[in-house]
Chain A
Amino acid sequence: MTAAALPVERHGDSLWRRALRKFRRDRVGMLALLVVGSYAVIAAGVMLGWWATGWAEISGPKWAPVSAEHWLGTNIIGQDIFSRAIYSTRTAFEVGLVVAIGATLVGAVLGALAGFYSATWVDEIVIWLMGVLDSVPFILLVAAIAYSLQDSPWSMHIAMIVTFWIGTARLVRGEVIKLKGLEFVESAHAIGLNRLSIIFRHILPNTFHILLVQATISFVAAIKSEVILSFLGLGVKDGMSWGLMISESTFEVLAGYFNNFIAASVLMFGLVMAFNMFSDALQDALDPRTVKSP
């Protein structure tokens, strides 16, 4: 019965090859990928201790102007803004990656289960859970999770995963409902494959294009939420992030010192914008409907 599985493999291959070809031709998408890549290199450098190691040191006077020593000046207590902004890139990637991977995994598994067992109690429970979590205000949920985890540094990540998996799960559920009626799934049933192996080895891989796009969306959402949560005191606990820099800067801007605010805002905007563009280009490239012949 390998023949029945073949068309899908081929469909998958050609989808990816076509997507790659399309993506390469997309100049905006390629540029966005380049920018995201540069940020990733900066973040990796921070992780390996190559640069921005002195982000916590008080290395100059309060609110020192831009100079050769302090490329972007210093903040209210004399810390170097440039190294803090660079260091925060690492935090952004850490938050983004943890949340994107976590939310996508949870969304994929629950979405696939709900879709495969659609209109059974499994599906009902997942749908109910999605509705319930959608109805709890995000910030309340984060706060509540922060409390119950006794101020764990991961409470923010967990709260985001708990909220962000829903969008992915909805899409995966819909796609799995479509896929499970297809021939290759029927033939997998016919040769007596076990259900879990059908779901996770045969159906879920065919939703990978959705997962990839959703992961990029979760990544961006995580970075943006971090800023607001950190400002509210619910975000990054130790370390430095663009969100913490911007919260610091709320006092500074009223006194007329904008370096902290601008450094964090511009760096963050660059990454989010590039990631948004990358995500769009990816979606375009993976959309099977793009060539509409008459």
Chain B
Amino acid sequence: MEVLLYSLRKVIAGIPLVLGVTLISFLLIVYFGPDKTYELVGKNPTAEQIAEVRSQLGYDQPFVTRYVRYLQEIVTLDFGNSESTDEKVSSILARTIPVSLLLAMPGFILGNGLGVALALVAAYFRGGFIDKLIMGSAAVGMSVSFLIAIIAFQILLSSSDGLNLFPVRGWDTSTPLAYIQHVTVPTLATVFVALGYNTRFYRAVIVEEMTRDHVRTARAFGVPPARIFYRNILKNSMVPIVTRVVFSIPLIIISGSLLLESYFGIPGIGKVTYDAIVTGDQPVLKAVVALTAILFVVAQLLTDICYRLVDPRVSLR
């Protein structure tokens, strides 16, 4: 009950954020966005034809009216049909989001899991050779552009100049093997690029927890390192770790894989977004923006609830 009430309050508190995101996207995509009039009118249009099209598009309406209509579309989740393919926007989302999740999940899990693991090792050997080695490699990884990593892994693993193990591009999830074949190179590139940042962040968090007073207390009472590690360090590090993980979820659902999908020609939500950007497909862009904003509010809610689970000092009020 406490959680339910809290969630309700949080959702209400998230309304300004959603309004803000929709307002900005409305301003940029619709209000100052490309004028579609001349794409729709025929050749040598008359003034009446132009006016008619403009009124169909709602361009003659005042700002507030147009924005309210945009909001209505978001609230009812009715974005209409894509301007380029005429497919229903909701069915586009339903088709492409699972693809993006399948593409992004392995890299996301490995990137964070390995990041935490390496950070623990580095923090344990703090100041020593292994720490320097891990953090040095992290610095190198952080300096490599995502695009460069993608191309390099593609050359090494998928081209005839390299090992030629995996398909160059495309997407196929019909069998587990096909899935693994297609997901490996994008995953490796993602992990390579994310690992440096993750390791650095998690190491900072863990080192901070390692130097807390209660860790010293536990040591002074003869608690063995493995138990201190679990009860004092890991448990207390969970709040920042959970925050980072949960807050990256909206991004991996929406835009995290945009580059991967457009590079490898994978039909996920990122590719759809990219195509919508290129063609100015407003219904799709609107839907994506709205979806992201909503996901962010949900992510915020989730992190707060996770805080409550992890840290008894946090109260859901």
Check A-B contact in the complex, CB < 8 A: yes
A253: Cβ under 8 A from any B Cβ: yes
| Complex interface bits, B125-155 against A, C-beta within 8 A gives 1, otherwise 0 | 0000000000000011011111110011011
Give per-residue flags for B31-52: 1 if the beta carbon is below 8 A from chain A beta carbons, else 0: 0111000000000000000000
Nearest opposing residue in chain A for B250, CB measure: A135
Chain B interface category by residue count: 35 or more
* Given A137-B255, A232-B262: A249 in contact with B17 (beta carbons within 8 A): no
Instruction: Sort A-B residue pairs by CB-CB distance and give the 4 closest, nearest first.
Output: A132-B20, A137-B255, A144-B28, A148-B32
Q: List 28 A-B contacts (CB under 8 A).
A: A131-B296, A132-B23, A132-B24, A135-B296, A136-B24, A136-B293, A139-B258, A139-B273, A139-B277, A143-B277, A144-B29, A145-B28, A147-B28, A147-B29, A147-B34, A227-B148, A228-B146, A228-B147, A231-B263, A232-B262, A250-B151, A253-B159, A256-B161, A265-B148, A272-B143, A273-B139, A273-B140, A276-B142
Q: Are A273 and B143 in contact (CB under 8 A)?
A: yes
Contact partners of B277 in chain A: CB under 8 A: 139-140, 143, 234
Q: Check A137 against B251 for contact (C-beta < 8 Å).
A: yes
Binary CB contact string for chain A from 218 to 242 against chain B (1 if under 8 A, 0 otherwise): 0000001001100111100000000
**B233 contacts the other chain (CB 8 A):** no
> Which residue of chain A has its CB nearest to the CB of B256?
A137
Kindly provide the distance from the CB of B71 to the nearest chain A CB, expressed in whole angstroms. Answer: 15
Q: Which residue of A lies closest to B255 (CB)?
A: A137
Q: Report the minimal beta-carbon distance from A279 to chain B, rounded to whole angstroms.
A: 10
Interface residues contributed by chain A, number (CB under 8 Å): 43
In the complex the two chains form, what is the Cα distance from A226 to B28 in whole Å? Answer: 21
Shortest Cβ distance from A266 into B: residue? B148
**Which residues of B have CB within 8 Å of A133?**
24
Q: Which of A139, A249, A258 has the most CB of B within 10 A?
A: A139
* CB–CB B24/A137 < 8 A: no
Are B20 and A131 touching (Cβ within 8 A)? Answer: yes
Contact of B255 among A138, A224, A227, A253 (CB under 8 A): A138
Q: Are B145 and A132 in contact (CB under 8 A)?
A: no
Residues of chain A within 8 A of B220, CB atoms compared: none
Report B-chain residues with C-beta under 8 Å of the C-beta of A253: 151, 154-155, 159
- How does the 8 Å CB contact mask read for A197-220 relative to B, with 1 for contact and 0 for none? 000000000000000000000000
Chain B residues touching A, majority SS: helix
- Select from chain A the residue with minimum beta-carbon distance to B288: A140
Interface residues of B (CB under 8 A from A): 16-17, 20-21, 23-25, 27-29, 32-34, 139-140, 142-148, 151-152, 154-155, 159-161, 168, 250-251, 254-255, 258-259, 262-263, 273-274, 277-278, 280, 285, 288-289, 292-293, 296
**B255 / chain A contacts, CB cutoff of 8 Å:** 137-140
Name the contact of B148 in the complex, choosing from A139, A268, A273, A276 (C-beta under 8 A): A268
By a CB distance below 8 angstroms, the chain B residues around A243 are 147
B151 is contacted by which of A137, A138, A145, A249 (Cβ under 8 Å)?
A: A249
Q: How far is the CB of B170 from chain A (nearest CB, A)?
A: 14
**Contact among A136, A144, A258 for B292, CB-based, below 8 A:** A136
Q: In whole angstroms, how far apart are the Cα atoms of A256 and B168 in the complex?
A: 13
Closest to B150 in A: A250
Known: A144-B29, A231-B263, A268-B145. 15 other contacts (CB 8 A): A131-B17, A131-B20, A131-B296, A132-B21, A132-B24, A135-B292, A136-B289, A137-B289, A140-B273, A140-B292, A147-B34, A231-B147, A247-B147, A250-B151, A280-B139
